[in-house]
Amino acid sequence: MIKIIKKVKNPKVLIVTPLWAGQQISKETKKTLKRNDIQFDWISSSGRYNIPTNLENGLDWYDKKFKLPEYYMMIDNDIIAGRHLIDRLYEKLSKVVGTNFINLIDSYAYAYAYASFQFKGTVNANFPAIEFDIKRLWQGNYISSNSMFFTEAVRAVGLVKDNKYKRLLDWAFLLKLLKAGYVGIPCPEASFIAVSNSNDISAGSAKDYKIKYQRVVNDFIKPI
């Protein structure tokens, strides 16, 4: 089910909040996302599917009805956005799209910008928006899914929705973008807090995690 939360005349960015059936967007999330100057549309997309599938359903619905803007951002239902989160990510990403990130071997195109974030609650941890590092991304994900993406690149490459990678879908998606020649740019001046509780902690055994981890390695890292 799609719900329009905010609609403007000429949006620069689309915000999509994927929800499981019965979930709601927190008051804090709605309140803090207002603290931006940029014009943006905001929808929620709920269903019985996993988060990437609900996200794609929302993007597809919006594109048919309004046409997708140049940039989109996924926002979870329970974050506390730092002031000007969307503004700063947009400013950073719009300046580099079409330019290259060059390492010692290859050149990649920028396709997303990511913020610093904190977990507060059951889990307490800080994740600063450090410089993009391909080798570090190969080892594990350090970038939040609450990032801003260049719509054209993501639609061309496609999201990762297969539950064979469940618990590591975000990581698999960023690696898929990397495989297609796209990287991210850090935006440490943008930040948010993710409220964590016991229901948010990934379920499953260490053995299951290792299986999913190896699948990601086999399918997205070794081919690179």
pLDDT exceeds cutoff 60 at 202: no
Whole-angstrom distance, CA of residue 148 vs CA of residue 144:
10
* H helices, E strands: number in the chain: 7, 10
Closest-CA residue to 89 (of 149, 151, 28, 177): 149
Coil, strand or helix at 127: strand
Give phi and psi for 196, each to the nearest 5: -110, 145
Question: How confident is the model over 53-65, as a mean pLDDT?
Answer: 98
pLDDT, position 204: 61
| Core vs surface per residue 168-189: b (16+ CB within 10 A) or e | bbbbbbbbbbbeeebbbbbbeb
pLDDT digits (tens, 9 = 90+) for 60-109: 999 999 999 999 999 999 999 999 999 999 999 999 998 888 775 578 99
pLDDT, position 45: 97
All structural domains of the chain, each given as residue ranges with its CATH number in brackets, are: 2-221 (3.90.550.10)
List the beta bridge partners of residue 196: 121
pLDDT, position 200: 54
Local confidence band at 199 (pLDDT 50, 70, 90 cut-offs): low
CA contacts within 13 A on the Cβ side of 191 = 13
List the beta bridge partners of residue 20: 47
List the beta bridge partners of residue 73: 15, 148
Percent of the residues in the chain that have a pLDDT greater than 70, as a whole number: 96
Closest-CA residue to 137 (of 96, 84, 101, 176): 176
The per-residue pLDDT of the chain, averaged, comes to 93
Question: How confident is the model over 151-177, as a mean pLDDT?
Answer: 97
pLDDT digits (tens, 9 = 90+) for 116-145: 999 998 888 899 999 999 999 999 999 999
pLDDT, position 205: 77
Whole-angstrom distance, CA of residue 126 vs CA of residue 192:
10
Closest-CA residue to 149 (of 96, 112, 186, 94): 112
